[in-house]
């Protein structure tokens, strides 16, 4: 699911204009039972196949490659799913799942679906959240097709044009500097959880200010957003508590924005919610329910992807010190570096599509109503699309001819509305790192990832930031309570 949208996007074979891992996982192949099960059914009805560690994961073998079993939803491998993606992608382009949809593993097939109006994005709730009312999972234009998608997108797209985003640059630069000031304090060195000290407050503050949500409300907005972001994952993979948490967050979000809209009707301001409220009041384009769902969508989508981009990007630099050294010596690579970060460790790992009518994909016939899950994380490392795709290379999008466009921000009419803003936020984080001359050291041997599948990202990222030549002893005695973003308890 792409979490931002807009009307146009660059050709799939060209990169955007320059404006701006870990230990190997276990094998992704197992020997399933000799008999082939029936067609994919809901998880509870699907015969289990044993994983290498002996735990059942619910995936069934397939007639044309029965020796390969691919469980893209196995949390054990979520810290590094890429070795399993590589095995699956090399084996075949499509994998059945107990969710009743096929996983699409290769770049060419994913790109084709994204740009083909035979495939609809209006049915993700039907595929992943059957029976869930829209009040419990508001998504607005995110899960719509034209003409409603076109109408609603057009009302908000002007807030995310390159010109509008460029005008935000001074504010984002100030915010980035303030956040780094809090991390390194006055002695040019500091320790922080990047998630809580930088990756969350930066994009959340930017999108909240753009929409018109007061700063005092940001903690509630973050809490509700996290619950909804987890709730975008397929319902069979959520706990009852997570499903209830999603519903509760959605209700509180809607109530919050209903009150904010009423306030902005009485006291309009220079923000997006005032503009949407004015349009809705005229009654000719937008209903109140559409305004509410759009506000929720923009708030959640406008920062959750960027949280993962910032954290994944900094982690990639830490794990590839040669590339960070290259960036420090060649700051003109900042914009291409952002593109490589988006490709290498995608903050959005998958999206869905449903066939409007009978069609073919990768040699298989799909009937109207059949669904697929496009694995961006796999497609972005497809060797048929990218040279040495497992290599983190900051020059990839600076070379000629240009590298193929990654799919992280999708393609076609659902191309990411917030792409320019997300790129700018990451670019300014990198420029501030370079301006301060900071080095980064990872403070843990075992990273904790959130349970999210659609919006895959880290739960925490403890890092020491310091300037070369600053003695490590300067950090001694500061105590964990003095480390920005780290819980002193």
Kindly tell me if the per-residue pLDDT of 142 is higher than 80.
no
- pLDDT attached to residue 386: 97
Burial 329-340 (b: 16+ CB within 10 A, else e): eeeebbbbbbbb
Look at 63-72, 273-282, 284-293 and tell me which has the smallest mean pLDDT: 63-72
Nearest residue to 312 via CA among 287, 344, 282, 275: 344
Mean pLDDT of 50-71: 40
Measured at the alpha carbon of residue 306, what is the angle toward residues 8 and 458, in degrees to the nearest 5? 140
CA distance 173 to 166: 11
Interacting residues of 361 by C-beta distance below 8 A, sequence separation 6+: 94, 104, 109, 112, 113, 372
- pLDDT attached to residue 337: 98
Position 452 confidence tier, pLDDT thresholds 50, 70, 90: confident
- Which has the higher per-residue pLDDT, 481 or 387? 387
Beta carbons within 10 angstroms of residue 218's beta carbon: 16
Is 416 noted as a catalytic residue in this protein?
yes
- pLDDT attached to residue 188: 62
Kindly tell me if the per-residue pLDDT of 269 is higher than 80.
yes
| First-to-final CA distance of the chain | 37
- pLDDT attached to residue 441: 96
Kindly tell me if the per-residue pLDDT of 470 is higher than 80.
no
Measured at the alpha carbon of residue 173, what is the angle toward residues 167 and 178, in degrees to the nearest 5? 140
Kindly tell me if the per-residue pLDDT of 31 is higher than 80.
no
Q: Which of 225, 306, 346, 378 is catalytic?
A: 306
pLDDT exceeding 90 applies to what percent of the chain? 48
Position 310 confidence tier, pLDDT thresholds 50, 70, 90: very high
Task: Quote the tokens at residue 402.
Answer: 């240009």
DSSP, collapsed to helix, strand or coil, labels residue 50 as: strand
- Which has the higher per-residue pLDDT, 155 or 337? 337
For 264-381, strand residue ranges (E) read 350-355, 359-361, 364-366, 371-375
- pLDDT attached to residue 279: 75
Q: Which of 122, 208, 301, 311 is catalytic?
A: 301
Kindly tell me if the per-residue pLDDT of 256 is higher than 90.
yes
Mean pLDDT of 425-446: 96
Nearest residue to 465 via CA among 205, 198, 203, 204: 198
What are the domain boundaries of the chain? Answer: 43-474
Mean pLDDT of 51-67: 36
Please report which helix (H) or strand (E) contains residue 244, including its range.
helix 240-266
Position 41 confidence tier, pLDDT thresholds 50, 70, 90: very low
Mean pLDDT of 402-431: 90
Specify which of 24-38, 68-82, 145-159 reaches the highest per-range mean pLDDT. 68-82
CA distance 201 to 192: 13
Kindly tell me if the per-residue pLDDT of 445 is higher than 70.
yes
- pLDDT attached to residue 283: 58
Kindly tell me if the per-residue pLDDT of 199 is higher than 60.
yes
Is 304 noted as a catalytic residue in this protein?
yes
- pLDDT attached to residue 486: 39
Which pairs count as long-range contacts for 474-483, CB under 8 Å and 24+ apart, including other chains? 474/187, 474/189, 475/189, 475/190, 475/191, 478/191, 482/185, 483/190, 483/191, 483/192, 483/193
Beta carbons within 10 angstroms of residue 357's beta carbon: 10
Kindly tell me if the per-residue pLDDT of 182 is higher than 90.
yes
- Which has the higher per-residue pLDDT, 265 or 431? 431
- pLDDT attached to residue 290: 79
Q: Which of 209, 280, 290, 425 is catalytic?
A: 425
Is 306 noted as a catalytic residue in this protein?
yes
- pLDDT attached to residue 453: 85
Specify which of 25-29, 245-249, 333-337, 482-486 reaches the highest per-range mean pLDDT. 333-337
Kindly tell me if the per-residue pLDDT of 284 is higher than 60.
no
Kindly tell me if the per-residue pLDDT of 477 is higher than 60.
no
- pLDDT attached to residue 133: 67
CA distance 211 to 271: 6
Q: For all residues of the chain together, what is the average pLDDT?
A: 79
DSSP, collapsed to helix, strand or coil, labels residue 305 as: helix
Predicted confidence (pLDDT) per residue in 123-140, tens digit? 766 777 776 666 666 656
- pLDDT attached to residue 295: 83
Look at 150-154, 236-240, 354-358, 423-427 and tell me which has the smallest mean pLDDT: 150-154
Count of residues making up the chain = 489
| Superfamily, domain 43-474 | Cytochrome P450 (1.10.630.10)
Q: What are phi and psi of 391, to 5 degrees?
A: -90, 130
Look at 62-66, 250-254, 367-371, 453-457 and tell me which has the smallest mean pLDDT: 62-66
Kindly tell me if the per-residue pLDDT of 357 is higher than 80.
yes
């Amino acid at each position: 699911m792409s979490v931002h949208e807009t009307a146009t996007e660059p050709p799939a074979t060209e990169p955007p204009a320059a404006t701006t891992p870990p230990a190997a996982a276990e094998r992704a192949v197992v020997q399933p039972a000799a008999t082939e099960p029936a067609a994919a059914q809901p998880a509870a009805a699907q015969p289990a196949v044993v994983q290498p560690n002996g735990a059942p994961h619910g995936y069934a073998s397939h007639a044309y490659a029965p020796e390969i079993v691919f469980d893209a939803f196995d949390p054990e491998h979520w810290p590094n799913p890429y070795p399993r993606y590589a095995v699956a992608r090399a084996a075949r382009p499509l994998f059945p799942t107990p969710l009743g949809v096929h996983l699409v593993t290769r770049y060419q097939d994913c790109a084709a679906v994204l740009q083909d109006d035979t495939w609809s994005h209006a049915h993700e709730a039907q595929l992943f959240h059957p029976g869930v009312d829209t009040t419990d999972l508001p998504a607005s234009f995110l899960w719509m097709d034209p003409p409603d998608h076109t109408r609603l997108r057009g009302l908000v797209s002007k807030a995310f044009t390159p010109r509008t985003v460029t005008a935000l640059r001074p504010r984002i630069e100030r915010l980035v500097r303030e956040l780094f000031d809090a991390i390194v304090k006055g002695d040019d060195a500091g320790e922080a959880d990047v998630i809580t000290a930088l990756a969350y407050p930066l994009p959340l503050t930017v999108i909240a200010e753009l929409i018109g949500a007061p700063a005092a409300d940001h903690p509630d907005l973050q809490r509700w957003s996290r619950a909804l972001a987890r709730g975008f994952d397929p319902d069979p993979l959520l706990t009852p508590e997570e499903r209830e948490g999603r519903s509760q967050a959605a209700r509180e979000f809607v109530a919050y924005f209903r009150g904010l809209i009423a306030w902005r009707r009485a006291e309009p301001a220079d923000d997006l919610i005032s503009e949407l409220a004015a349009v809705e009041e005229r009654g000719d384009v937008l209903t109140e329910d559409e305004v509410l769902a759009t506000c929720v969508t923009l708030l959640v989508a406008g920062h959750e992807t960027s949280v993962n981009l910032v954290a994944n990007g900094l982690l990639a630099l830490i794990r590839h010190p040669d590339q960070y050294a290259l960036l420090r010596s060649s700051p003109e690579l900042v914009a291409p570096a952002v593109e490589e970060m988006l490709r290498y460790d995608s903050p959005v790992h998958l999206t869905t599509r449903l066939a409007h009518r009978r069609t073919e994909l990768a040699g298989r016939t799909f009937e109207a109503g059949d669904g697929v899950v496009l694995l961006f994380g796999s497609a972005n490392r497809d060797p048929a699309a990218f040279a040495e795709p497992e290599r983190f290379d900051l020059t990839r999008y600076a070379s000629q001819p240009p590298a193929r466009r990654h799919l992280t921000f999708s393609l076609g009419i659902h191309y990411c509305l917030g792409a320019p803003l997300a790129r700018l936020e990451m670019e300014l984080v990198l420029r501030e790192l370079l301006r301060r001359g900071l080095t980064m050291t990872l403070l843990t041997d075992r990273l904790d990832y959130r349970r999210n599948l659609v919006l895959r990202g880290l739960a925490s990222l403890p890092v020491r930031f310091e300037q070369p030549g600053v003695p490590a002893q300067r950090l001694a005695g500061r105590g964990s309570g003095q480390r920005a973003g780290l819980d002193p308890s």
